[in-house]
Structures are given as structure tokens and as C-alpha cells.
Amino acid sequence: MPFVRTAVPFGIEPARKRSVVEGIHDALVDSIGMPKDELFNLVSEYRDDEFFFDRGFNGIARSDALIVVEITMRRGRSDAMKRALYAGIVENLEARAAVSPRDVFIFMHENDYSDWSVGNGVFAMALAQQRGTDG
């Protein structure tokens, strides 16, 4: 279950914000096989004086409308899956929310089941070990 944090410029319209979230989610479903019902995306808005970035870092011309996508998920996806994920996010955001590919900054944290509790204070490893049982 990936957990996503998305930072968008202040004042983005709610419908466009929703399109950004759905574009990221659909890319996760399509590229890494994430179940459709695993949507967890915390969106925050930033003002000009709250986020500073180099508009020309690594030779990419960014605008003031940079969107940052931070994904935390369980370790184990291949580099090919990650490449497909990043490309899918950019394609979806451009098509659905009119976000320039130059304005999408993505990074990922990977961890293990032991780093999660997804409800009721239950250690996620216990849940993972019980998956697939009829008990």
C-alpha cells in the first residue's frame, strides 16, 4: 500500500487537484499492480515563500507550478516498474490536469511491512502474514 504526499501550488482548483491525485493513483495501479482501493494521497498546497527550488536544476526548465510527488511504499519493485510508474504519472498529469512534464518532481521511499501500521495500531507485518487465509 503506497502512501503518497503531493505538494501543489497554492490555489489550484479542487477539480484539477483531484485530477492530479487520480493521475498518480492510476499510474500506481497500472505500473506496479497496486490494488485500486489502496488510495492514500495527502495533498498540501504551498505558497511562493514556502517552497524554494532551482528552476533549471539538471537542465530542466521548471515553472512556478512545480508539483512534488513523494511516494512511500514497501520495498521490492524493480527499476523497470519504477520507470513505468514515473512515466505514467507524468503522462497522466499532463493529459488530465494540464501539468507540464517539466513541472513534475517525483521521489520514492522504500521500506518493509515492519515500518507500517495501517489501522487499529496493528503491526502491518501481522496483517501481511495473515493474507490469503480463510481463518
pLDDT at 115: 85
Is a pLDDT exceeding 50 seen at residue 134?
Answer: no
pLDDT at 126: 62
Domains located in the chain, CATH noted: 3-130 (3.30.429.10)
Give the residues across from 78 on adjacent strands.
none
Which of 109, 108, 135, 114 is closest to 126 using CA atoms?
114
Task: Tell me the pLDDT tens digit for each residue of 70-80.
Answer: 999 999 999 99
**Reported confidence tier of residue 127, pLDDT bands at 50, 70, 90:** low
Task: Tell me the pLDDT tens digit for each residue of 34-49.
Answer: 999 999 999 999 999 9
